Amino acid sequence: MTLEKAKPRTRIQKQNIAAIMDAALEVFSTNGFRGSTLDQIAQAAGISKPNLLYYFNSKQAIHIALLSELLGIWLAPLREINPEGDAQAELMAYIRRKLELSRNFPRESRLFANEIVQGAPRMEVFLQNDLKHLVDEQAKVILNWMDDGKLALLDPYHLIFSIWAMTQHYADFDAQIRMVRADQITDSHDGAEEFVQSIFQKILAP
């Protein structure tokens, strides 16, 4: 008995899946998982609901597919911290990468934030395994730098959490920033890199 290989997707199928994923990202990042419906996603994708269900059998299936795509992107900046590099330079580069992620993937950031606010029901395994293991690993790198006198002695976990909070704020609260500074900036990230890095340079100086 031989197993049949899955048929490769046609160009139209690939286009439809891409349209569904992009539409779902917009809907979920705006309304959250609970506030989103398959009808909204189908309408935003420009296809019928039955056609959408041909590719994804539920709202949760689409949401999980989006999160799966996001996780690799989200972990990359932290993975790139080099234990053999200069301590302050590596952390400044990490902050810069996180701000770039915030600027270039604002909808993805809000999707992630909405999932966490709801208790991460669809990301629990990832948070308890992949993310935890990576944070533990890089926290040890940072603590070693601190023990070697290359950085001020701080809690490495709270340091990482603080970097997340300050960098992702510019994506998750984009509307608030633009409304508060409507007459001063053209982009919510204007001046963010210089300010955030200056704060952490002072905090981290041994």
**Which domains occur in the chain, in start order?**
8-57 (1.10.10.60), 67-204 (1.10.357.10)
Q: Which residue has the tokens 């609260």?
A: 173
Residue 185, judged by CB atoms within 10 A of its CB (0-12, 13-18, 19+), counts as middle
Tens-place pLDDT, residues 136-148: 999 999 999 999 9
Structure tokens at 126: 């990832």
Return d(Cα 185, Cα 77) in angstroms, integer: 27
Return d(Cα 206, Cα 158) in angstroms, integer: 17
Tens-place pLDDT, residues 16-33: 999 999 999 999 988 988
Whether 2 has a pLDDT exceeding 50, the answer reads: no
Average pLDDT over residues 115-132: 87
Q: Strand (E) positions, the chain?
A: none
Helices (H), 32-131: 38-45, 49-55, 59-79, 87-104, 106-117, 124-126
Cβ-proximal residues to 69 (8 Å cutoff; 6+ apart), any chain: 21
What local confidence, expressed as pLDDT, does residue 1 receive?
A: 39
